Amino acid sequence: MEASTTFKQDLLLREYGRNVQDLVNYITKVEDRAERTRLSQLLINLMAKLNPQLREAQDYQQKLWNHLYVMSGSTLDVDAPYRLSAMEYLNDKPQKIEYPLDTPSYKHYGKNVELLVERATELEDEQEREAAIISIGKLMKTLYRSYNKDSITDGVILSDIRQLSKGKLNMDLSYIEKNNLFESNVRPQQDNQNQRSQQQSRGDNNRGRKNTRSSSNQRNK
């Protein structure tokens, strides 16, 4: 069975254009085999420049020769470095993509969160595991808020982490709530303390200025 020349040209000319096809037609009419081979190699070099993304493939040179053979209508007779096969190239079926069949336990968190929880359970260092729980909790809370309009408590987040990790990941809920560890937009406590100290110093300065003004007014009197 032979594929029609029109079909093969329509399939590949979108990549290389009509000019390349005209060069292929010219090469097939050259009588000297050595000259056909030389011109074919020059055309392969040109095709590689016109289709640079093909260079990422491991066997891109063989694919280029197959492209050339296809555009010749399976009639190109040259000393090619590879076995040329047009029908095998055209009839290649794309590889099947494996889709995950298992659905996540919580759709609003997604499968990636479950993978993160699984990786966190493998951590042996207690501080690294605690940091992983906080990061995952922040992510889960953000994903939940983008999926649902309702708010969610830290207790629910922590309970979901326990369930996803099969009880391997856990933290003190009161400590999480007190420090707002699952809130991604909360500044560290140190920043808050710095702000309080700055406000206190400003207040002391203002009170000092008021006292100075009042004492000067009394002297004037």
Q: Residue 144 sits in which domain range?
A: 111-184
- The predicted-structure confidence for 162-216, as pLDDT tens digits, reads as follows 999 999 999 999 999 999 999 876 444 444 445 555 555 555 555 555 554 544 4
Residue 131 pLDDT? 94
For residues 20 and 83, membership in a common domain is answered with yes
pLDDT value at residue 4: 44
In this structure, are 77 and 10 located in the same domain? Answer: yes
Q: Is residue 220 part of a domain?
A: no
Q: Which of 57, 90, 123 is the last residue of a domain?
A: 90
Q: Are residues 126 and 60 in the same domain?
A: no
Domains of the chain: total? 2
Query: Is 214 part of any domain?
Result: no
Percent of the chain topping pLDDT 90: 37
Q: What is the pLDDT of residues 130-170, one digit of tens each?
A: 999 999 999 999 888 888 877 889 999 999 999 999 999 99
Domain assignment present for residue 218? The answer is no
Cα separation of 60 and 82, whole Å? 11
| Whether residue 175 sits in one domain with residue 140 | yes
Residue 95: inside a domain? no
Distances in Å between the Cα of 208 and the Cα atoms of 164, 212, 221 are 58, 6, 20
Q: What value does the CA radius of gyration of the chain take, rounded to a whole number of Å?
A: 36
**Residues 76 and 146 both lie in one domain:** no
Q: Write out the two tokens for 1.
A: 């069975």
Token digits of residue 217: 């007014």
Same domain, 85 and 118: no
Q: State the amino acid at position 139 in one-letter form.
A: L
If one counts every other C-beta atom within 10 angstroms of the C-beta of residue 64, the result is 22
In the prediction, which pLDDT does 36 show?
Answer: 93
Same domain, 128 and 51: no
Residue 38 has pLDDT above 80, yes or no: yes
What is residue 67's predicted lDDT score, i.e. its pLDDT? 85
User: Do 116 and 158 fall within a single domain?
Assistant: yes
**Residues 6 or more apart from 171 whose CB is under 8 A from it?**
130, 133, 134, 158
pTM: 0.43
Domain presence at residue 209: no
Q: What is the pLDDT of residues 77-103, one digit of tens each?
A: 999 998 887 755 555 555 676 766 677
Q: Is the pLDDT of residue 41 over 70?
A: yes
**Domain match, 116 and 178 both:** yes
Q: Based on the fold, state whether residues 142 and 76 are members of the same structural domain.
A: no
Determine, yes or no, domain membership for 117.
yes
9 and 86 part of one domain: yes
What secondary structure letter does DSSP report for 83?
A: -
Question: What gap in Å lies between CA 20 and CA 42, rounded to an integer?
Answer: 11
Residue 78 maps to a domain: yes
Same domain, 53 and 116: no
The rounded mean pLDDT for the chain is 78
Identify whether 106 is part of a domain.
no
Cα separation of 175 and 158, whole Å?
Answer: 12
